[in-house]
Structure 1
Amino acid sequence: MKKRNIAIGTAIACLLLAACGQNTDKETVRVAEVTRSVFYAPFYLAIAEGYFADNGIDIELTTTWGGDKTMTSLLSDGADIALVGSETSIYVASQEAADPAINFAALTQTDGTFLVAREDTGDFQWEDLKGSTFLGQRKGGMPQMVGEYVLKQHDIDPHADLTLLQNIEFANISSSFASGTGDYVQLFEPQASLFEEEGIGTVVASFGTEAKQVPYTSFMAKQSVLDQNADLFVRFSAALYEGQKQIQSQSPEETAKAIEPFFEDTPIAILASSVERYKEQGSYAEDPVLTEEAWAQLLEIMEEAGELPEPIPFSELVNDEISKQGME
């Protein structure tokens, strides 16, 4: 019934605009997101509040479940924009791509995963991971690289001090942990909180608070597409910025209600607590501008993980002018 009411409301709004003689034509923009998470709440909020529609954009959103799949979708023209870890643009550029993926707007600025333990000891210490089985993420992906970076900061060698499992597809990691695989796992929200509610595990630490700011997830498009329609991406950034400002100014409960259609099976209370967790640790970028300092931190994390093919300069893979214009 709720979806029907939303659809009816949208239809009425369109009729009113037409009656006033306004142009309701919008450009459809296909966005491929690497996962569905409250970590991306400012983007969903901007969609729900109509900020993209106000800028003449109709978002067609697809969840592609994994950085490699998301980038493949972008490069093969299956999507116009990819919402994915910035490291993927470096991997593509290192292969001397004729049409590289360019980061043009930032969405998140910290790691978005939480360490979930199967057993709650009540007094977690990082050294507890030694000798455990850790259900890891995809090799070379941001969750895994930041995870390893944080473990090393706590004098833990992720490849020697614990059993690291990396043979499970990204989309299946949470279900594998739920079925009994691993003592610890990295999970995004709201999955981490859902596991707590269901008694499957307990959040004992945040990788977002342990690591420095990093361009963890950004919007990117192929260079040729950016060149052909720069105004479209400026308007996209403007709409995103409105969502970023609103999530900072309103309560987690208000945000949860707005983004509920994106998480049909998740209770409002879980959505609200997930938003609050991310806000408290500063995970949501306050504006869409990706900075050189954050890019440098990304390169450091990739190099520490042994995954940096070459240190590609900020200027080659980031177009910060688009997001700056969008903010204006």
Structure 2
Amino acid sequence: MKLKSGMKAAALALTLVLAGTALLTGCGPKTQEGPVKVRVGEVTRSIFYAPQYVAVNKGFFKEQGLEIDLTTTAGGDKTMTALLSNGIDVALVGSETSIYVHQQGSADPVINFAQLTQTDGTFLVARKPLEGAFDWSKLKGVTFLGQRKGGMPQMAGEFTLKKHGINPHADLTLIQNVDFANIPAAFASGTGDYVQLFEPQATVFEKEGKGYVIASFGVESGKLPYTVFMTKKSYLTKQSATVQKFANAVQQAQNWVQQATPDEIADAIISFFPDTDKAVVRDVVKRYKDQGSFATDGIVDQAEWNNLQDVMEAAGELKQRADHGQLVDNTFAEKAKQSVK
């Protein structure tokens, strides 16, 4: 059926209007996309992870066009389960967990791409103040309240004891059946002569006169990729641009932390620790900063990777050594280090 002349004219006019609109839309500015959301699961909430909170609160992630959805996944097993089941995109957890996944066999391996901390974060705390120089041999025969078996704190602790000629399973009474969250309370109530504690509990105990820091397991066990941002290889491949932006923000935060004072860092991260006195946050930051716990860049080097596996082997937790190139991808951290100033 043919259109009447009036209808033809109307149809033509409509076509021209639509064409003009399309032309103007094509020539005009494109609507900017919103920030890319990255779901991050941290193994625990800790001042030890100060650079991560700096990256959030100083807007470094935002500058990279990223929106960080941060959740505390409470434990290495739960964090890795969340990552493998796509509950999160990126995990902040001990790099030993990527090796455990590798040992079990995985078609989609977990890759370490940006290191955040480079030493163990625990301290040896005694019930009484230190008299004279500390000698590790004093631990022989004592009751030692340690960390959960299989975790990096426990492995770094045992590695240090063995380094000083102490067999943790023969030369002292080792307690390892107390949940991580309950260790400070157990020591405060009288369990153990010495305890291996994270911050801020160690500093809080000192301020309250309940314990005294006499040595650092971080210093004793050396540099290792203690806490690292990691993701599945599939995400790394499909979202490489996002991962690079993430690494850039982490590097910017690391640069800032290296130059900032403990007071400035405490001010930047205090919102993540509303129930902790700012003076405690500052003292904890200073202790970690002074001993070099905060990584200066995200690169996981071969020496650190080897030391990690030495610690795991000494604890009997490593079935077979994992190749650095299989589970570490430094390209993002290396590019971030070169480009972020």
TM-score above 0.5: yes
Structure 2 residue aligned with 1:85: 94
**C-alpha separation between the residues in 1 aligned to 2:325 and 2:61?**
27
Does residue 258 in structure 1 map to residue 276 in structure 2?
no
Q: 36, 50, 64: which one pairs with 1:41? A: 50
> Whose radius of gyration is greater, 1 or 2?
2
Q: Deviations over 1:270-299 (max 9, x none)?
A: 111111111111111101111111111111
Work out whether residues 130 and 214 of structure 2, in 8 Å CA contact, stay in contact via their aligned partners in 1.
Answer: no
The amino acid across from 1:207 in the alignment is F
Work out whether residues 237 and 326 of structure 1, in 8 Å CA contact, stay in contact via their aligned partners in 2.
Answer: yes
Structure 2 residue aligned with 1:115: 124
SS state at 1:221 partner: strand
**C-alpha separation between the residues in 1 aligned to 2:36 and 2:197?**
34
Structure 2 residue aligned with 1:213: 223
The offset of 1:115, in angstroms, is 0.9
- 1:129-208 matches, within 5 Å, as 129-208=139-218
The amino acid across from 1:218 in the alignment is V
Aligned Cα root-mean-square deviation (Å)? 1.6
**C-alpha separation between the residues in 2 aligned to 1:169 and 1:57?**
35
Structure 1 residue aligned with 2:311: 301
**C-alpha separation between the residues in 1 aligned to 2:135 and 2:307?**
26
Residue segments in structure 2 that go unaligned for 5+ positions in a row: 1-29
Q: 49, 55, 62: which one pairs with 2:71? A: 62
**C-alpha separation between the residues in 1 aligned to 2:240 and 2:319?**
29
Does residue 105 in structure 1 map to residue 111 in structure 2?
no
TM, length-normalised to structure 2:
0.87
**How many residues matched?**
308
Work out whether residues 35 and 66 of structure 1, in 8 Å CA contact, stay in contact via their aligned partners in 2.
Answer: yes
**Ranges of 4+ aligned residues in structure 1 off by more than 6 Å:** none
Structure 2 residue aligned with 1:230: 240
SS state at 1:107 partner: strand
Work out whether residues 125 and 202 of structure 2, in 8 Å CA contact, stay in contact via their aligned partners in 1.
Answer: yes
Work out whether residues 66 and 171 of structure 1, in 8 Å CA contact, stay in contact via their aligned partners in 2.
Answer: no
Q: Deviations over 1:158-184 (max 9, x none)?
A: 111111111122222223223322222
Residue segments in structure 1 that go unaligned for 5+ positions in a row: 1-20
The offset of 1:42, in angstroms, is 0.9
- 1:260-279 matches, within 5 Å, as 260-279=270-289
SS state at 2:147 partner: coil
The amino acid across from 2:78 in the alignment is K
**C-alpha separation between the residues in 1 aligned to 2:31 and 2:250?**
23
SS state at 2:320 partner: coil
SS state at 2:218 partner: helix
Work out whether residues 146 and 211 of structure 1, in 8 Å CA contact, stay in contact via their aligned partners in 2.
Answer: yes
Structure 2 residue aligned with 1:12: none
TM, length-normalised to structure 1:
0.90
Structure 1 residue aligned with 2:34: 25
The offset of 1:22, in angstroms, is 9.2
